[in-house]
Amino acid sequence: MTNGEHDQDIHFDGTAMYAGSTADDAWRRLPTMTPYLLDTLGQGRIPVTLESGEGALLWDVLGRTFWDFYGGHAVTLIGQGHPRWADAIARQARTLSFFTTLADVPVRSRAAAALCKFTSMDAAFFVNAGAEANEAALKIARKSTGRPVIIAMEHGFHGRTMGALGVTWGYRDQHAPAHGEVRFVPFGDLEAFKRALDERVAGVITEPIQGIAGLVVPPEGWLAEVQRLAHANGSVLIADEVQSGIGRAGVPLVSHAMGATPDLVTVGKGVGGGFPVAALLLTKKMVDTVRPGEHGTTFGGAPLACAAVEVTLDILEQEGMLAKANALGDAMKEKLAIPGVVTVRGDGAWIGVVLEKPAKPIAAMLLERGFIVGTSSDPNVLRLAPPAVMPIYVIDQLAEALGLALAAVVKA
Ligand SMILES: Cc1ncc(COP(=O)(O)O)c(C=O)c1O
């Protein structure tokens, strides 16, 4: 089957997609996946059909090799196919493949204890995705305070389900009327935050560093002050660390590193090392507000997911992944600061490269040279979230390819 305009060289099975392609073409081409999959990305898709991966490397169906500077969407901090990770999931599959939260299973309790220890939080509730973790956090903030309003940040991202979408800047407008009573304030602006706070505010939700917005870092001390003001107002602080947390930024939780102690923290992406799992983390004070029957899930805390969490946290600790992420971040900050780059920001294996020119054509050219990188909602920012196991020497290769791509754009 072919897809109309490009039926000379693009087939839905992806086999001929590189024929005659240029870097510029790559991003413009229509998706090559089967029509039996709903396409919600269109031209936003990375035009490769991936088949396998190992560590920081990926291979496509044509046998081309790519360095993964996107981490499969800021997920695979421990890399692709870690042997201990794969073994733990397989072992759990043979031991007890599934039972819901109605009955205790040891691996769930172990994973919760390990996650709380890793993040210095008091309790965990496992769910399936970041958006679902944020749904739970928003519900608890409203129920525990008996107030209706949530303050969220301009350009923040919290997910695509109705409640999470309601606090997600921009995306919520596609599905108007958006859910919930939400007040948006500029990220990092304390005065605006103070003006939005009143006795109707249940809580504030924010990423400590905005990821999809392009690794936007707030002013020093901002988050801790937001927490102080929120608490003085009787409101709770929800830190969305779905992207930033669990070592991605070189620390267990960015909010804690910023001197804040949020009441509720959501984590996802890297927490299962690539297995779909996320969690709501609570302080003891918040645990005491939740009554039986107020929340639940069938698949959250599934044994396979919990086996993945348990082994992922162990790999992060035993194999020094946070230190590796930090070394990678330092190298990226140093080596990617080349002409045509305005600044390189972020921490650990989570870096935003702010370009003088639009990032999308640059990302397409990097893809042609064997580097998969992310973009962001800021059109000039490349978002890099490689596995911590990315070899440092590859940063030099990326810097060279980036330099060539930037030079080509300037020439064009
Ligand atoms: C900060 C943040 N929160 C929430 C989400 C939503 O997570 P999920 O796609 O797993 O629902 C994302 C996803 O990119 C995110 O970056």
Span 28-48, average pLDDT: 75
Whether residue 94 is predicted with pLDDT greater than 50 in this model: the reply is yes
Q: Is 157 in the pocket of ligand 1 (CB under 6 A)?
A: yes
Residue 229 pLDDT grade (very low, low, confident, very high; cuts 50, 70, 90): very high
Residue 163 pLDDT grade (very low, low, confident, very high; cuts 50, 70, 90): very high
How many other CB atoms sit within 10 Å of the CB of residue 34?
A: 11
Q: Which residue ranges form the domains of the chain, and what is each CATH number? A: 21-78+321-411 (3.90.1150.10), 83-318 (3.40.640.10)
Atom of ligand 1 nearest to the CA of 73: 14
pLDDT of residue 44: 83
Whether residue 408 is predicted with pLDDT greater than 70 in this model: the reply is yes
Q: Is 130 in the pocket of ligand 1 (CB under 6 A)?
A: yes
* Cα-to-centroid distance, 412 and ligand 1 (Å): 36
Q: Helix (H, G, I), strand (E, B), or coil: what is residue 28?
A: helix
pTM of the model: 0.93
* Cα-to-centroid distance, 408 and ligand 1 (Å): 33
Nearest residue by C-alpha to atom 16 in ligand 1? 243
* Cα-to-centroid distance, 404 and ligand 1 (Å): 32
Q: What angle do CA 376, 378, 380 make, to 5 degrees?
A: 95
Span 197-212, average pLDDT: 98
Nearest residue by C-alpha to atom 13 in ligand 1? 159
Query: Which residues lie closer than 8 Å to 189 by C-beta, 6 or more apart?
Result: none
Atom of ligand 1 nearest to the CA of 276: 10
Q: From CA 1, how far away is CA 140, in angstroms rounded?
A: 48
End-to-end CA distance of the chain: 35
Residue 32 pLDDT grade (very low, low, confident, very high; cuts 50, 70, 90): low
